[in-house]
Amino acid sequence: MKAVDTNVLVRYLVQDDPRQGRRAGAFIEAAGPDAEQILIGNIVLCELVWVLESAYGYKKAEIADTLEKLLQVAAFRFENKDIVRAALGEYRVAAPDFADCLIGRIHRWLGCETTVTFDTALRKLPTFQLL
């Protein structure tokens, strides 16, 4: 298995650099359920959200839809698809950013009751507790 860095996903999704976009597309399209899958790590997902929002002006709904589509591509593998999907569900309806939603879900999966925080924006998420 191989993994991708954020910049490969960005080139594939945004196609802002035609040469790199074609190379990223060819690499991703060569993978699949019957071929070697491509890992998209949790940190790469968080960076992807940040880049799409800050550098390309994507809105939250567009980012959420993009992540949902990535989760459906058979060529991609994730550290824990169920956790990413749960974090994405929270991200769609809550104010916090995707990284916070993912952090809370990972900590819960690792056995933590809650993640203690000073960030009041996280108080509505079931995985966080204000200190």
- Asked if 34 and 18 count as a contact pair (C-beta separation under 8 A), the reply is no
Handedness of CA 46, 68, 8, 105 (dihedral sign): positive
pLDDT digits (tens, 9 = 90+) for 28-45: 988 866 778 899 999 999
DSSP 74: T
pLDDT one digit per residue (tens) for the chain, 131 residues: 899 999 999 999 999 999 999 999 999 988 866 778 899 999 999 999 999 999 999 999 999 999 999 999 988 999 999 999 999 999 998 888 999 999 999 999 999 999 999 999 898 899 999 99
Domains contained in the chain, CATH given: 1-79 (3.40.50.1010), 80-131 (no CATH)
pTM of the model: 0.91
* Tokens 């998420």 sit on residue: 125
Q: What is the pLDDT of residue 36?
A: 84
What confidence score (pLDDT) does residue 57 get?
Answer: 95
What is the C-alpha separation between 17 and 34, in angstroms, rounded? 29
